[in-house]
Amino acid sequence: MSIPTPFRFATALLTAALGLSLSPALAASPADTLVIMESGDIPTLDPGATYDGASASMVANLYETLLSYRGASLTQFQPVLATKWTISNGGRTYTFDLRKNVKFHSGDPFACADAEYTYRRNLVTNSGDSGNWFLTDALLGTTGNANDDKTVTWARITNAVKCNGAGQLVFTLPKVDPAFLSKLAYTGQAIVNKKYSAGLGEWDGGEGSWKAWVGKDLTESALSKKPNGTGPYRLVQRDANNYLFTAFDGYWGKKANIKNVIRQRVDELATRQQALLRGDADFIEGAGRTVDEAQLRGKPGVTWVDNLPYANAPAFFINQNIKNPKLLGSGKLDGKGIPANFFADADVRRAFSHAFNYGQYVRDVQGGKAEQRTMLIPENMLGYSSKIKKYTYDPKKAEAYFKRAWGGRVWQNGFTLTINYRAGTESSKTASEMLKKSVEAINPKFRVNIQAEQWSDMLQATRRGEEAMWIRAWVPDYADPDNYLYAFYASDGFYNGQVNFKDSLTDKWLTQARSTNNAAQRARLYALVGERAYEQANYILLPVPIDYTFYSSRVGNGPTRASYNPFGTATWATLTKR
Residues in contact with 206: Cβ distance below 8 Å, sequence separation at least 6, in sequence order: none
Picking from 55, 277, 302, the residue whose alpha carbon sits closest to that of residue 188 is 55
**In this structure, how many other beta carbons lie within 10 angstroms of the beta carbon of residue 423?**
18
Q: What is the pLDDT of residue 13?
A: 52
Main-chain phi, psi angles of 18, to 5 degrees: -110, -5
Picking from 475, 502, 403, the residue whose alpha carbon sits closest to that of residue 443 is 403
Contact 340, 323 (CB under 8 A): yes
For 362-407, write each residue's pLDDT tens digit: 999 888 999 999 999 988 888 999 999 999 999 999 999 999 999 9
Side-chain-facing half-sphere of 271: CA atoms under 13 Å: 16
For 303-340, write each residue's pLDDT tens digit: 999 999 889 999 999 999 999 999 999 999 999 999 99
Q: What is the pLDDT of residue 22?
A: 37
Sheet order of strands, 82-88 included: 82-88, 93-98, 169-172, 161-163
Picking from 129, 484, 428, the residue whose alpha carbon sits closest to that of residue 312 is 484
Any idea what DSSP says for residue 217?
A: -
Q: What is the pLDDT of residue 11?
A: 54
181 three-class SS: helix
Contact 403, 411 (CB under 8 A): yes
Q: What is the pLDDT of residue 14?
A: 53
What parts of the chain have a pLDDT lower than 70?
1-27
Picking from 36, 105, 3, the residue whose alpha carbon sits closest to that of residue 64 is 105
- Domains contained in the chain, CATH given: 5-41+240-309+546-577 (3.40.190.10), 61-225 (3.90.76.10), 313-545 (3.10.105.10)
Element (H, E) at 243: strand 242-247
For 456-503, write each residue's pLDDT tens digit: 999 999 999 999 999 999 888 888 888 999 999 999 888 999 999 999
How far is the C-alpha of 84 from the C-alpha of 308, rounded, in Å? 31
State whether the Cα torsion 232-264-544-506 is positive or negative: positive
